[in-house]
Amino acid sequence: MWGCRFAKTPVDLVLHNAHVVCLDGAGTQAQAIAIHQGQIVAIGKEHQILNAYRGAQVHDLTGATVYPGLIDAHSHLLGYALNLAHTDLVGTSSWEEVLDRLRSDHANSNDPWVRGRGWDQNDWPNPAFPDRIDLDSLFPDRPVALQRIDGHAVLANRVALAQTGLLHSNGVPGGEILRREDGTPTGVLIDGAADSLLSRIPQPSAAQKTQALLLAQRNIVASGLTTVTDAGLDVEDIALLDSLHKTGDLQLRVVAMANPTEANFVAMSERGGWRTPRLVAESFKFYMDGALGSRGAALLEPYDDRPGHRGLLLQSIPEYEAQLERIHRDGFQAATHAIGDSAARIVLSAYENVLGGPNDRRWRIEHAQVIHPDDMGRFGPSSIVPSVQPTHATSDMYWAGQRLGRGRIRRAYAYADLLGQLGMLPLGTDFPVEDIDPRKTFLAAVSRQDAERYPQEGFHLDQALSPHQCMLGMTLWAALASRMEGEVGSIEVGKRADLVVVDRNWIQMADPHDVMSSEIQATYIDGVRVHVISQL
**Which residues contact Zn ion by CB under 5 A?**
231, 430
Residue nearer to Zn ion on the CB measure, 231 or 443: 231
Residue nearer to Zn ion on the CB measure, 336 or 490: 336
Whether the Cβ atoms of residue 11 and residue 53 lie closer than 8 Å to each other: yes
Residue nearer to Zn ion on the CB measure, 282 or 430: 430
Residue nearer to Zn ion on the CB measure, 185 or 428: 428
Residue nearer to Zn ion on the CB measure, 77 or 412: 77
Measure Cα distances from 181 to 157, 184, 185, 305, 306 in Å.
18, 8, 9, 20, 18
Measure Cα distances from 245 to 156, 250, 276, 340, 441 in Å.
36, 5, 9, 37, 27
Q: Least Å distance between CB 49 and Zn ion?
A: 40
Provide the phi-psi class of 367: left if phi over 0, else alpha when psi is between -120 and 50, else beta: left
Q: Least Å distance between CB 436 and Zn ion?
A: 13
Cα(first)–Cα(last) distance of the chain, in Å?
34
Residue 317 corresponds to which amino acid? I
String of DSSP letters for 426-473: -B---TTSS-S-HHHHHHHHHH---TT--STT-TTGGGPPPHHHHHHH
Residue nearer to Zn ion on the CB measure, 158 or 337: 337
Q: Least Å distance between CB 489 and Zn ion?
A: 21
Q: Which residues sit opposite 256 in a β-bridge? A: 230
Q: Least Å distance between CB 74 and Zn ion?
A: 6
Whole-angstrom distance, CA of residue 343 vs CA of residue 340: 5
β-strands 70-71, 153-156 pairing: unpaired
Q: Least Å distance between CB 305 and Zn ion?
A: 24
Q: Least Å distance between CB 364 and Zn ion?
A: 12
Residue nearer to Zn ion on the CB measure, 77 or 376: 77
Cβ count near 358 (within 10 Å): 9
Q: Least Å distance between CB 78 and Zn ion?
A: 12
For 50-67, b where at least 16 C-beta lie within 10 A, e where not — what string? bebbebeeebebeebbbb
